[in-house]
Structure 1
Amino acid sequence: MSSNAENDKKSIPDIIIDKTRNCSYQRLRFFGKGGFAKCYEIQHTGTKEVFAGKIVPKSMMTKSSHKEKMAQEISIHRSLSHNHVVGFHSFFEDVSNIYIVLELCKRRSMMELHKRRKAITEPETRFFMHQILEGVRYLHNNRIIHRDLKLGNLFLNDELHVKIGDFGLAARIEFEGERKQTVCGTPNYIAPEILTRKGHSLEVDIWSLGCIMYTLLAGKPPFETSSLKDTYKRIKECEYRIPSSLRKPAVEMIVMQLQEDPLKRPSVDKLLQHQFFTSGIMPAALPLSCLTTAPRTDQLEKLALQRRPLHQINSNDDGRCDEKFSVPNGLTESQSNRQHLLSLRQQLVKLLCSKRKNRLQVLTDELSDPAAQPLVWISKWVDYSDKYGFGYQLCDESVGVMFNDTSKIVMLANGVNVHFITREGQEIYLTMDDYPPELVKKMKLLSYFRRYMSDYLMKTGASAVVRESDGLSRLPHLHQWFRSTLAVIMYLTNGALQINFQDHTKIILCPLMQAVTYIDVEKNFRTFRFSTIEKYGCDEKLFNNLEYALEKLNSVLGMPAVTPMMSCS
């Protein structure tokens, strides 16, 4: 790690004192970084309330423009108060840093949701887009242009409510008809009038909303290419293709927002009245599991009944029912899992090649990326495969069994809902009190495994919180497992490969987040992007663990045991 980074870390005290308000905060775990800022969870030492502390070293604010930008961001954000805007609590400074105290959004941003899920369902898109639009309407009513609306700036709390954040590029409209001239934004979301320097106003946010909606439904941004030049060319020419899988109301709403002429784009009020929001299921809530797996659409309708009459959700204006969940790209579960493993293998080969010569580097917390930490992992397991199968508990206290006949069963943390997956991959929804007679033995075994792990294995993972939307949950489950002389290797249906070593350390590799999480014997989590390891290297132990993971991947995929060095030659 560079000396500057070490100095920055030392300059952030464990107890942060706000002299203007005569209070203090304890610095807790590292939460992420972006631009000049580092973010930590911080806890008010008096009230014990937890916040996000955005900390900017003054040493980074070398230009007057940096200070002006920071002052404008604070001025705009502190003036805002809305359910769908990240709460601004206070700001202060000391000799070394500027501190901004913000609402803590523990479920990260919608960018992580996108990376784990790619395309999401229409009901989920309605749920999120309605909240985003409500937040943007508030901003526009207050004559504020955000100018950087994107998935990475849309944060989620524990209820999966959207909070618009990061006002670093935001601007106020000072007078009627004012057009801003600054070229700013993020390539995949930037409006054409910004690129052509024709002057811009509130309409640029409408364009970005169109890009967000398209990305949620299609799984990738509308104008994305492999080069910035080509992306900007497509934006200027408003050249994009809409997948045939999207329904008519969704297509119409996207097209309305992605108008080349900003004056033809609708206001937020008009978008909130669009048919898209009334032509299908609008969930009242979503389960946390939808951050990694699509929810149960059979239950969405029941939850939506709380809000809308039955005739409005049973049919659509184009005569088709709302979409049901399917595996992306029409792949079977096994095909999808193999694709994940092949992708992970390719990532590991690239990573191990890049840093084989420079691997004795200790990765500090400052280089970690907590946002890439897995949402689901296996916290307990018991091997009874000599008679029945392999039992496990997920980190949220859900319990699953992979039976010797390759069928699987998962009981959610609420202790009520049960998902049975047949040998053919069909998913059947049950409850602990309602299941067919042929599953009596397997339900009994599920209860046995659950009781055994609760009574005899060390408690790990977070405690379960039962929510109204738990019935919508569809959790990843164990797809494959095997033992080796050194470890137990477990592969989940969300693409995560977990290896539990005999020394009680673990690694979890995720091809979607392109990251590895190392769990030490004290159960501390540290997650590093593969790109960070490629750049800085890693210590000997983690490097050896990654090599071992590649070796086991080759075995699972039935590929030759090619070492990274051989692949690099």
Structure 2
Amino acid sequence: MDKYAKIKKIGEGSFGKAVLVRNRTDSKQYVIKEINISKMQKKERDEARKEVEVLSQLKHPNIVTYRESFEERGNLYIVMDYCDGGDLYQKINQRRGVLFPEDQILDWFVQICLAMKHVHDRKILHRDIKSQNIFLTKGGIIKLGDFGIAKVLNSTVELARTCIGTPYYLSPEICENRPYNNKSDIWSLGCVLYEITTLKHAFEAGNMKNLVLKIIRGSYPPIPSQYSSELRQLISSLFKRSYRERPSINSVLKKSIIRNRIDKFLSKTVR
């Protein structure tokens, strides 16, 4: 850690914390995720290291860039680029109820989808898609970050861990204690799209039991009428209760409302 100077803590999850740092050599700011692996079983430690290896291979304009990782004093440190434009959750809260234009929503959504395609094409699951894990640069480019490191060994642990964090993005299959799959990521993607569109969570309740019931029913308040029927249909397709009926990320990118925007963000190097 000697080459980094701590600036401030910017987040804390169920398995570690995120700290904003400055590199003493080039003065650039980075985010370091600190994960305590000293209390983990050997199998879990190996799992965490393997996931860092996977992270290091993800190179895409819409994914937060991995820089390096190292271990010191029982902690695993992962150094990532710092996104200076905050996250989508903050952007949504700053609106104070004033809805985003559809163009803005779709521009962001396309970039999230391109990042997810890069991940799913490599048979990797994100496992923790939510508005707090979708970052922005000052230039307005979306960066998907915070992959579910410390991969959960089964869906019960997943559920327990998520209850500590943000249960709003849970899919019906996880609520029913069935395994996580790539379509569970798609459900969470629907939750994010709904949230950017309405500035609210699709599924909200005063307690976990009622929240789980709402999610399993798949009932959510309607989308404001100012938005196109294509956007409404897209959200409804991501919220199919049976994961088999939800589209894959490649199918989402083929929908005309999305396909027409892809070239705007797809540089020649990303195809």
Q: What TM-score, normalized to structure 2? A: 0.82
| Cα separation, 2, equivalents of 1:244 and 1:84 | 28
Equivalent position of 2:93 in the other structure: 115
Change (3 A) 1:138 1:79: same
**Tell me, what secondary structure is at the counterpart of 2:155?**
coil
Residue deviations 1:21-64 (CA, integer Å, cap 9, x gap): xxx2233x204121243333323333333322223456xx4242
Matched, 1:240 2:220: yes
Change (3 A) 1:171 1:141: farther
Q: Which of these residues, 191, 205, 208, is aligned with residue 171 of structure 2? A: 191
Q: Which of these residues, 155, 162, 167, is aligned with residue 182 of structure 1? A: 155
Equivalent position of 2:39 in the other structure: 62
**Tell me, what secondary structure is at the counterpart of 2:10?**
strand
Residue deviations 1:481-528 (CA, integer Å, cap 9, x gap): xxxxxxxxxxxxxxxxxxxxxxxxxxxxxxxxxxxxxxxxxxxxxxxx
Residue deviations 1:237-273 (CA, integer Å, cap 9, x gap): 1122313423201111001111011111112122122
Contact kept in structure 1, 2:218 and 2:240, CA below 8 Å? yes
**Tell me, what secondary structure is at the counterpart of 1:144?**
coil
| Cα separation, 2, equivalents of 1:171 and 1:98 | 14
Contact kept in structure 1, 2:223 and 2:232, CA below 8 Å? no
Matched, 1:75 2:53: yes
Matched, 1:212 2:192: yes
| Cα separation, 2, equivalents of 1:198 and 1:168 | 18
Quick check: which one's helix share is greater?
Answer: 2
Equivalent position of 1:225 in the other structure: 205
Contact kept in structure 2, 1:181 and 1:197, CA below 8 Å? no
Equivalent position of 1:271 in the other structure: 252
Change (3 A) 1:66 1:121: farther
Contact kept in structure 2, 1:181 and 1:194, CA below 8 Å? no
Contact kept in structure 2, 1:210 and 1:257, CA below 8 Å? yes
Matched, 1:89 2:70: no
Q: What TM-score, normalized to structure 1? A: 0.41
| Cα separation, 2, equivalents of 1:264 and 1:170 | 29
| Cα separation, 2, equivalents of 1:54 and 1:66 | 17
Matched, 1:39 2:18: yes
| Cα separation, 1, equivalents of 2:150 and 2:54 | 8
Pick the structure with greater CA Rg: 1
Matched, 1:30 2:11: no
| Cα separation, 1, equivalents of 2:107 and 2:79 | 28
Q: Which of these residues, 63, 66, 81, is aligned with residue 103 of structure 1? A: 81
Matches within 5 A, 1:150-549: 150-169=130-149, 181-183=154-156, 184=158, 185=162, 186-245=166-225, 246-277=227-258
Contact kept in structure 2, 1:76 and 1:170, CA below 8 Å? no
| Pairwise CA RMSD | 2.8
How far the C-alpha of 1:191 sits from its partner, in A, is 0.9
Q: Which amino acid aligns with 1:192?
A: P
Total equivalences in the alignment: 253
Contact kept in structure 2, 1:120 and 1:217, CA below 8 Å? yes
| Cα separation, 1, equivalents of 2:32 and 2:180 | 32
Matched, 1:145 2:125: yes
**Tell me, what secondary structure is at the counterpart of 1:145?**
coil
**Tell me, what secondary structure is at the counterpart of 1:93?**
strand
Q: Which amino acid aligns with 2:19?
A: Y
Contact kept in structure 2, 1:147 and 1:170, CA below 8 Å? no
Contact kept in structure 1, 2:48 and 2:149, CA below 8 Å? no
Residue deviations 1:113-141 (CA, integer Å, cap 9, x gap): 12212542211111110000000000000
How far the C-alpha of 1:91 sits from its partner, in A, is 0.8
How far the C-alpha of 1:104 sits from its partner, in A, is 0.8
**Tell me, what secondary structure is at the counterpart of 1:30?**
strand
How far the C-alpha of 1:276 sits from its partner, in A, is 2.7
Change (3 A) 1:81 1:170: farther
Contact kept in structure 2, 1:76 and 1:167, CA below 8 Å? no
| Cα separation, 2, equivalents of 1:219 and 1:46 | 41
Equivalent position of 1:405 in the other structure: none
Change (3 A) 1:261 1:57: closer
How far the C-alpha of 1:203 sits from its partner, in A, is 0.6
Contact kept in structure 2, 1:69 and 1:168, CA below 8 Å? no
Report % sequence identity.
24
| Cα separation, 1, equivalents of 2:154 and 2:76 | 28
Contact kept in structure 2, 1:148 and 1:169, CA below 8 Å? no
Structure number with higher relative contact order (C-alpha < 8 Å, ≥ 6 residues apart):
2
